[in-house]
Structure 1
Amino acid sequence: MSYVDGFVLAVPTANREKFKQHAEEAAVVFKECGAQRVIECWGDDVPEGKVTSFPMAVKCKPDETVVFSWILWPSREVRDAGMKKMMEDPRLQPDQNPMPFDGQRLIFGGFNILVDV
């Protein structure tokens, strides 16, 4: 069964193109490591909540945009092996491909697919 890694983060709006380039370069590595798809979505209609919301979850500042992303893997096993390879890949090291956002406010997790229609 397929496996999904999901991510929510806040990116400085001025860094949109830097983020896109960073994501495209990282996607090449993820695909080489076994990912089937890498999806990066730039927030367009992401309301602030009263109790909880995407902006609140990542402490989004007024000059930032929420990004919602996911990576589709063929299985958890492929994901685990792929993430290990990805973390060791020199193309994704901070000195080679610095993150154009605050990684401390990145939310991520791995998910089993429950419904896929």
Structure 2
Amino acid sequence: MSLTSILSAEAIESAVKDCQEPNSFCYKKFFKLCGLTSKSPQEVKDVFSILDEDNSGYIEESELKFFLQRFVPGARTLTEAEAKSFVSAADDDNDGKIGVEEFQTMVQS
């Protein structure tokens, strides 16, 4: 399964272009622009499993640095501050990583 089987390539491209500058990434805006906020809970889970590169059941900060590259190869990496902010915005249980339920809540809130 690929992200483009769930989200349109055009929407993904637009979302990635919107945050090309370092420290310009806003997860809420990104999820909206790429169309993820309008997807079903199952589709959001499917996107999570694609982003969970090591299949640990969590998206760790190290994986988040390459978040944009999972959408578009060659996209920039997130800055340390962006990755930390992303984790802290979703990490309800303070374990330093994002679980699937936390990701769903973040996307659909």
TM-score, scaled relative to structure 1: 0.26
Q: Which has the higher helix share?
A: 2
Higher relative contact order (Cα pairs below 8 Å, separated by 6+ residues): 1
TM-score, scaled relative to structure 2: 0.27
Asked which structure has the greater CA Rg, the reply is 1
Q: Which has the higher strand share?
A: 1
